[in-house]
Amino acid sequence: MTIDQPARITGLFRGAVEAVALLDEIPLGLALLDSELRVIALNRGAEALLGITRRQARGIPCRHVLRNNLCLHNCPARRLTPEAQPLCLEGNIINRERQKIPVRVSFAAVLDLDGQPVGYLEALEDLRLLQQLGAGKARSYSFATIIGHCAEMQRIFQILPGIAQTDSSVLITGETGTGKDVLAEAIHQASARAKGPFVKVNCGALPETLLESELFGHRKGAFTGAVEHKPGRFRLAHNGSLFLTEVGDLPLTLQVKLLSFLDDKVIYPLGGSSGVQVDVRVIAATHRNLEQMARDGRFREDLLFRLNVVRLHLPPLRERGEDLRLLLDHFLRTLTTEFQRPIKGFSEAAMNRLLAYPYPGNVRELRNLVEYAVNICHEDTIEVQHLPVFLTTTPTNPAPAATSTESASNTAPASAKPASGKSGVRHVPSVRVVSW
């Protein structure tokens, strides 16, 4: 069997069927290996979990594709004999995005007609949601990995379990860095689709000509360079969720195709003569004002209505009050454990600086600041000198009196201004992003 000649199964049905196409319908990650533990094929679930296509993985030793900690010392597949029962073990894999994912791995030998092993089958089950529930993370001020205690976040936490159990389209809005990606994955992991793939597409990361093929796939020969069929992200997300981040950057021509899919759940690959039915929940996110874009003719109003079935708005960090202290403590615990540092907390002066900063980059910037401090600090308490320079530098002379125009432009709520009158730290409030 070559890459261009897929294996077929005969004798079970009235006609021959493609082996990998049959495996694609199983809602688990599956890998077929030869007797030397080299990858023969991956199904769609394994592609989504590992972040690598079956063509890229073919012929590579499985330890380099799965990167499973179980393979480091005593490969489980090597322990299988023709008489042995399949093995089921728990471990971790590292995907292409360098994410460590807890999995349950089942190993079984594939036997020929004489009962001799000719290969192996590995099944991968994502355990992230189960581990989160087992660790007791579902506290009153959190949902999955999202933490917050302010009224707006509590309202989101209350409605999320119900939203997760439906297949309605979700539109997540909020400024950059507020956690839209984390919220989208939390919705997927809490849904009945959790065992299916969670596929993310950044609509602003690719040019229009490539984005259409990436989303909807193409048929062999559809254009120059299309040497094989490509399923596209919609098909990879079958029985799971497709997360369209930065959906406001989606070109108008592709907005029409997305609207068509939301209407009939059928995609049309480039160069294809017929549509393909897929079962996918669409979750979209943007930091843009889609209503204004619709009025300006840059975003289809009918698509906005279809995406806006359930709308969740993540407030900026400057509007979340006591959540700032809660998040600082959370990230400090997480990062000191990850980096194995004996840091116990922040000094009062360092904490005051962190609480006074307006965080234009929101939760993402907050985490980065804490990570910087944990890397720099080699003591048991984070001091002011361990913070980034722009948080520690203060003017030596009083700032000159501002003109009336400057005074008006630099006026900000008290919660967004530095404490103790240190207005020279950073004039971020004058360029605040307006949320909607």
Tell me, yes or no, whether 144 and 272 share the same domain: yes
- On whether residue 91 sits in a domain, the answer given is yes
Predicted TM-score (pTM) of the model is: 0.62
Q: What is the CATH number of the domain that holds 376?
A: 1.10.8.60
99 and 146 co-located in one domain: no
Reading the chain (436 residues) residue by residue, the pLDDT tens digits are 444 566 777 777 888 878 788 888 888 889 989 988 899 999 988 888 888 888 888 999 988 888 888 877 678 877 777 666 678 888 888 888 888 888 888 888 888 888 888 888 889 888 887 766 555 444 446 677 788 888 899 999 889 999 999 999 999 999 999 999 999 999 999 998 998 899 999 998 888 878 988 899 888 877 777 778 888 899 999 999 999 999 999 999 999 999 999 999 999 888 777 888 999 999 999 999 999 999 999 999 999 999 999 999 999 999 999 899 999 999 999 999 999 888 989 999 999 999 999 999 999 999 999 999 999 999 989 999 999 998 887 543 333 333 333 333 333 333 333 443 433 434 333 333 333 3
Together in a domain, 275 and 147 = yes
Report the CATH number that the domain containing residue 81 is assigned in CATH: 3.30.450.20
Task: Specify whether 81 is located in the same domain as 219.
Answer: no
For residues 294 and 170, state if they share a domain. yes
100 plus 140 within the same structural domain: no
Q: What is the 3-state secondary structure (H, E, C) of the chain?
A: CCCCCCCEECCCCCCCEEHHHHHHCCCCEEEEEECCCEEEEECHHHHHHHCCCHHHHCCCEHHHHHCEHHHCCCCHHHHCCCCCCCEEEEEEEECCCCCEEEEEEEEEEEECCCCCEEEEEEEEEECHHHHHHHCCCCCCCEECCEECCCHHHHHHHHHHHHHHCCCCCEEEECCCCCCHHHHHHHHHHCCCCCCCCEEEEECCCCCHHHHHHHHHCECCCCCCCCCCCECHHHHHCCCEEEEEECHHHCCHHHHHHHHHHHHHCEECCECCCCCEECCEEEEEEECCCHHHHHHCCCCCHHHHHHHCCEEEECCCHHHCCCHHHHHHHHHHHHHHHHHCCCCCEECHHHHHHHHHCCCCCHHHHHHHHHHHHHHHCCCCEECHHHCCHHHHCCCCCCCCCCCHHHHHHCCCCHHHCCHHHCCCCCCHHHHCCCCC
pLDDT of residue 302: 94
289 with 212, same domain: the answer is yes
Last residue of a domain, one of 281, 315, 349: 315
Domain of residue 121 covers 8-126
Q: Is residue 427 part of a domain?
A: no
Whole-number pLDDT of residue 109: 87
Does residue 1 lie in a domain region?
no
User: Is residue 425 assigned to a domain?
Assistant: no
